[in-house]
Every structure is written in structure tokens, then in C-alpha cells.
Structure 1
Amino acid sequence: MPKAYVFTRYGGPEVEAFADVERPVPGPGQVLVAVRAAGVNPVDWKQREGHLAQIVPVEFPAVFGREVSGVVEQTGDGVTEFAAGDAVFGNTVAGGFARYALLPRELTARKPDGLSFADAATLPVAAATAYDGVRQLGLPAGATLLITGVGGGVGVAAAQIARHTGVTVIGTAGSGKKDFVESLGVVHVEPGPGVADRIRAAAPDGVDAVYDLVGGAALEEAAEVLKDRSKLISAADGETVTRLGGSLVLRARDRATLEAVADLAASGALRPYVTRTFPLAQAPEALRAVEDGHARGKIVIEVDA
């Protein structure tokens, strides 16, 4: 049986383990993919800790991983868009840190020929979330967007997508990410107490929108610089952003969004910034690299063909 990296109950890293799992069988509307790469995201360890238990219930042992790329092995009833041998990427039904994963047809898209499997695996969660948020804000060219936590996977993608539309981007990130953030064409602002004043200094003409990826106090301070709270969105803290007069990022969760971000990546307008890859055997190290909060760009697990 193929190996997979799972969590056996809710908790910390101690509940993680490798396990032999049955090769999945695609049901109606599903696609079975031989995984070539899987993106690693904060949602992976948050799900392990039980933060999403009411939203996304799991059966234990639960396989990690919400986004993958790979090659179609088999399709379920009703799937006519894909066939065995097609290179695809998308969101998983129930885990992607494994040799095989199931994808729903509506959240599966063809991988462009010029895009690597590693890069494609980063698109369904972070890049798609970034795309949805930037589209939701609908800023015109010349506007100024503040992104809190710009140095992570969603922030890096959102900054590039916004700049591609002619928007000026200011972003908060720790000093260790300053050079990286500035390489994206983003004006770097140090987070922490007094950040609102530093944001105003960096944007003397004001900020037109805030895309929050941190939540909590960072979101509250960022909101201080924004007059129109309808242009305040968060992918991290629904309770706080709603109280402040903003809203959560509205996710489209469809193939059209996957195709849009793939086109941006294939054209060079969106660089996935895969900064580190790990083999499946080092899945624990890959998760720690994301869970410690200091990863730049995207971390990817690669699976041998």
C-alpha cells in the first residue's frame, strides 16, 4: 500500500505519523491523481490542531494536504474533462501528502505545459485565495493596497497579482523578510506596536484597501489607516474583520479561478516562489518549516513518480 503522512487525532506534532493507506478509488465526479507535488500551508497544521473541526470534519487517520499537482490515473463516473495521463493540479478531497490523491472535478484544472509540478502545486490554496481577495477589492490602477503578513504564500501571490493590475502595494513583514518583500516591488513596513504610524509614513497619500493575512492586533492596527471599511478584507480572522466593518475573503472555489492563476503563473506575471522543497519522507520537516511562521514564499513536498 502507498505511504501517506497523516495525523491520528487532533493535537500537536506528536499526533503526526506515516501510514500505509489504501489507494483511493474515485467516486462520481472525482479524479484520482498520482501526486507529483503537494503544497504545504498553515491550514495543514491548523486542521491538525482541530481549529477546523466544525467546518471540515475528518476521519482518522487523516491525510495532510489541501493542494496537489500530478498525473491523472483514473476518473470517476461523469468526469469527461480529464483522462488518464493528463497533467493536472487542484484541491484535494481528503489529503495530498501521499502518492495518490482524490480531487473533485470542479476543483481540478489542467497544468500548463510550461509550469512545473512544484509550481502548480502552490496555486490552489495560496494563489487562489490571493486572486479571490484582490478581485474582491476591485482596486483601480494607481490605488494603494496594504497587505499584512505579505511575506507568506498568500501575501506573496496577492502582491504580485495586485501589482500586475497597476496597484501600489505596501506590506508588513518581519525584518528578516525585508529584502525578499522589496524584491517583489512591495514597500516594506515593520510590524508591531506603532505600525499604523509607519504605514502612514510609507503611504502619505493614504491606503485604499487592506488585505489582512494575520488577524488580531495586526488587523486592528492596520484598519486604523483605512477610511472605507468596505475595503477591509481578511483571510485570517473573520470575527475581528467583521467587527471592524470589513469582511472575510470571498472564495470562488471553482476551476475558472485555478485556470486564471495558472495563466498568470505561466505568463510570468505570478511567480510561485517555491523557496524550499522536501521529499515525502521529510513531510514532518516541511510542516515545521511552515508552522514556525518564518517560511518565505511556498514550501512544497515532492513525490517521486
Structure 2
Amino acid sequence: MPLPLVEEDQVLIKVAAAALNPIDHMKLLGYFKDTDSALPFQEYTAVEETLLAVKPKNLSFAEAASLPVAIETAYEGLERAQILAGKSILVLGVAGGVGTHVIQHVFGVSRVAATASTKKLDSLRSLGADLAIDYTKDNFEELPEKFDVVYDTVGQSDRAMKAVKRGGKVVAVVGPINHQPSCLR
């Protein structure tokens, strides 16, 4: 492919690794074709300098490529939820990239609960969950405890609404399964 044109505020980058995210899957299915650019699968790309960060030395290029969309999605949801110190959070779907980053970036909350399958419960605890819920055995929405924020990364907004305190917030990251954009209730 020809080298892309580089604007004054951009940098030419040789692609060493790339990640496919749920949004890329939606693009491949034809969603956003009227409003979005083509997928940039090529050897070089031009990127605005302000969007770049230095790759940590302890990460491979493939590991580093997997982080930006998941981290940005996790951060934006937490920012919208305005979770504060002393509040509680339930994270649905911690085994995925977004959920993993959410649970690791809720410093100062009073309680972190999270859902995963039986074999991943120890992993939840190692990431910082105070309460690890096995979604294959327990219905999180039936817990007597309700949460200030429920961060739903698996498309269970109706159930999440039953687990949130009155006046609390549900952040729902909905992917290609339902073909809906992210939302906040």
C-alpha cells in the first residue's frame, strides 16, 4: 500500500502490531460505513501526534496494541459514572479487556464486586474485587446489597438496573452482539 499522506500535526508510524476490537468487528459487518473511515490495515499509518504515547518497555508491541480501546472505554465509563471515593461498584464481565481495566482503576471506592465464571473468580480477587460473583451460579441482581455504580460490559442492562442503588448509575458498554452504541442510564 502507498504511504499515507502525513498532515502537519501528524506522525508517520510503522505498524508493528494491531488489535481488533468489538468496534472493528462492527465495521467489518458494515456498520458505520456512512460515517466512518475504512479500517487502516496497512504497514504504515499517519496519526495525530497528540494521540500518541510511549510504549512501556515491559510490553510487547502486541500487548501494547491491545490496550488503547479497552482503557479508553473503561476510563470514559468511569468518568461518566462519576464514581467517587467511598462509593461501591459492581463490574459485570471482568474477564474482558474493559472490565479488567475498570476493576483496576476504581481507587478509593468502598467496595468492588465483580462477575466472572467459576474458573476466573481467583483472578477477580487478584485484580482487586472484594466480592467475586460466579455468574454461572449466582444472580447478582438478587443480592441484598445494591451498588452506587454498576458497570455492565456484557449487555445485561436490564439485570444491572436491578442491582443499582436508587439514584445510582448504570454504565452499559454494548458491543456487536446487540449492534447498539455505548450508553449511560
* Distance change in 2, residues 1:35/1:241 (3 Å): closer
Where do 1:95-244 residues align within 5 Å? 95=40, 97-112=41-56, 116-162=60-106, 164-186=107-129, 187-191=131-135, 194-197=139-142, 200=143, 204=145, 206-215=146-155, 218-228=156-166, 231-236=169-174
Q: Is the 8 A contact 1:148 1:219 kept in 2?
A: no
Task: Provide the rounded CA distance (Å) in 2 between the counterparts of 1:137 and 1:42.
Answer: 22
Task: Provide the rounded CA distance (Å) in 1 between the counterparts of 2:73 and 2:29.
Answer: 22
Task: Provide the rounded CA distance (Å) in 2 between the counterparts of 1:176 and 1:114.
Answer: 27
Q: Is the 8 A contact 2:149 2:169 kept in 1?
A: yes
Correspondence for 2:20 = 40
Structure 1 unaligned segments of length 5 or more: list them. Answer: 1-20, 64-94, 247-305
Q: What amino acid maps onto 1:147 in structure 2?
A: V
- Which of the residues 11, 14, 22 maps onto 2:2? 22
Task: Provide the rounded CA distance (Å) in 1 between the counterparts of 2:26 and 2:81.
Answer: 26
Q: Is the 8 A contact 1:140 1:167 kept in 2?
A: no
Please, what TM-score do these two structures have when normalized by structure 2? 0.78
Please, what TM-score do these two structures have when normalized by structure 1? 0.51
Q: Is the 8 A contact 1:182 1:188 kept in 2?
A: yes
Task: Provide the rounded CA distance (Å) in 1 between the counterparts of 2:12 and 2:169.
Answer: 39
RMSD of aligned C-alpha atoms?
Answer: 2.9
Structure 2 unaligned segments of length 5 or more: list them. Answer: none
Q: Is the 8 A contact 2:149 2:164 kept in 1?
A: yes
Equivalent pairs counted in the alignment come to 179
* Distance change in 2, residues 1:167/1:133 (3 Å): farther
Distance apart, 1:114 and its partner CA: 5.5
- Which of the residues 50, 55, 61 maps onto 2:30? 50
Indicate the structure whose relative CO is greater, using CA pairs within 8 Å and at least 6 residues apart.
1
SS of 1:32 mapped into structure 2: strand
Where do 1:244-283 residues align within 5 Å? 246=185
SS of 1:110 mapped into structure 2: coil
Q: Is the 8 A contact 1:219 1:241 kept in 2?
A: no
What is the percentage of aligned positions where both structures have the same residue? 32
Distance apart, 1:155 and its partner CA: 0.7
Moved over 6 A (4+): none
Q: Is the 8 A contact 2:89 2:109 kept in 1?
A: no
Distance apart, 1:240 and its partner CA: 9.2
Distance apart, 1:146 and its partner CA: 1.1
Task: Provide the rounded CA distance (Å) in 2 between the counterparts of 1:167 and 1:25.
Answer: 50
Distance apart, 1:37 and its partner CA: 2.6
Correspondence for 1:31 = 11
Q: Is the 8 A contact 2:90 2:151 kept in 1?
A: yes
Distance apart, 1:177 and its partner CA: 2.9
Task: Provide the rounded CA distance (Å) in 2 between the counterparts of 1:23 and 1:36.
Answer: 15
1:261-302 CA distance string (max 9 Å, x none): xxxxxxxxxxxxxxxxxxxxxxxxxxxxxxxxxxxxxxxxxx
